[in-house]
Amino acid sequence: MENYLWLLEPIHRNKFKKFKIEENPSIMESVKLSFDGAVMAVLRDRVEAHYKEQKVALIRHGYEKMPEKFKVEDEESFFKCLAYYVNID
């Protein structure tokens, strides 16, 4: 469990209407789901690069703006979206 980062707030998989995470085995191996299907945690190495690239730390401190919408269409965009919901020290 030490390789996982817990999300600041769980995201239910229904949020990704067009992208079905349960149909993608590599995603299912990279996340921890709650009993009702909410994404609770993600492997650190799947989101760390996106976290830094998207300047999430600056967004949290108010220096950058959070994107208004997330378009999740594939595995990469899914992990880019999750990067906004983790905290990496």
Class of residue 21 by CB neighbours under 10 A (exposed 0-12, middle 13-18, buried 19+): middle
Could you tell me the two tokens for 2? 């030490």
At residue 18 the predicted structure's pLDDT band, cuts being 50, 70 and 90, is: confident
Place of tokens 């209407």: 17
Closest to 83 measured CA to CA, from 31, 58, 46: 46
Among 46, 10, 15, which Cα is nearest to 28's? 46
What value does the mean pLDDT take over residues 38-56? Answer: 95
pTM beyond 0.85: yes
pLDDT in tens, 70-86: 888 999 999 999 999 99
Q: What's the token pair of residue 89?
A: 């020290």
Given pLDDT bands bounded at 50, 70 and 90, which one contains residue 17?
confident
Q: Is the pLDDT of residue 89 over 90?
A: no
pLDDT at 1: 63
